[in-house]
Amino acid sequence: MKKFVLFLLKIIGLGIITLIALDALYTSVYTNSSVKRNKISYLYDSKDLHYDVVFLGSSRVNNHFVPEVFNKAGLKSYNFGLTRSRLEESALMLELMIERHYKIKTLILQVDLNINTNDHSEAIRSLFMPYLHQSETIRNYYQTIEEYPYLLYIPFYRYMHYDARTGFREMWKTLKQEPTNQLDNDGFYPLFQNQHPLVPADLKKYSPKRNIAYEKIKRLCAQHGIRLIAMTTPICTETINREYFDQIKKVYPEILNFENAVTEDKYFSTCGHMNKDGAYKFTQVVLDSLFKPQSKLEK
């Protein structure tokens, strides 16, 4: 019996050592790779960047704002929009930018469908996990979530828990330094295929709510002298319950309504996302409306 117990303890000990080694390996690969495969890794590894305009939000930023249009107008910009992200992740990204001494004059933040909930995105939360032990900002941000003790203290748990986004496959591609297209075009990801006819988005169950992360973003911008422009972005005219966008103004009157800035179906890839031509058209509308003349932003 004693031999069996000793054997069992050795197996458990070997398992723990293996988990510690795997955690160290994965973390080393993610934090030391010179090829950044997503915007979170790019942000985490950067510092002292200066932007006239930064775009933050979900796919309705990622696919809708073209930094090239702003850059040509003399306004250095970058699209940090992330498909599937919510305002909770946008707030953490802004915190990391500030921590890394970014100088941002203007933040354009998409606030529309994402204030239907105070929830988070598991897919995007996973991208912060490789930096959990290294970043006090990330630890503080997630210390109240239910699984936080497991993520922080159990070796390799964070990589097993978020295996779909930070597991072996992604680690191996990062180790091999395989690039992605996520950082191309200064973060803008164009859509080319068009859905015909457009399937209407149904917003009947949507209801705008006061959003903790959005209010945190407002505080951060006020504290650090960043001009915040919160706005809706275009959605096709066939959308069911477009009154949702009017309701947003009742919750947050400062949010600018741009959902009708582009309306023709030919500019949409799906009802909720514009194609490349629509994105260029919309970005030009925003530039012309809010940044010309430049003095509008400086008042």
Q: Where are the beta strands (DSSP E) in 46-171?
A: 50-56, 77-79, 103-110
CATH number at residue 166: 3.40.50.1110
Supply the pLDDT for residue 193.
Answer: 85
Q: What are phi and psi of 81, to 5 degrees?
A: -60, 145
Domain count, the chain: 1
Name the token pair of 160: 């097993």
Closest C-alpha among 78, 77, 71 to residue 42? 78
Distances (CA, A) of 118 to 71, 195, 251, 253: 33, 30, 14, 19
- pLDDT (tens place) for every residue of the chain, 299 residues total: 777 778 788 888 888 999 999 999 999 999 999 999 999 999 999 999 999 999 999 999 999 999 999 999 999 999 999 999 999 999 999 999 999 999 999 999 999 999 998 999 999 999 999 999 999 999 999 999 999 999 999 999 999 999 999 999 999 999 999 999 999 999 999 999 888 889 999 999 999 999 999 999 999 999 999 999 999 999 999 999 999 999 999 999 999 999 999 999 999 999 999 999 999 999 999 999 999 765 444 44
Q: Where are the beta strands (DSSP E) in 189-242?
A: 227-231
Range of the domain at 173: 2-298
**Rounded CA separation 154/18 (Å):** 12
3-state SS class at 230: strand
Supply the pLDDT for residue 283.
Answer: 98
Closest C-alpha among 46, 22, 298 to residue 166? 22
Per-residue model confidence as pLDDT tens digits over 53-112: 999 999 999 999 999 999 999 999 999 999 999 999 999 999 999 999 999 999 999 999
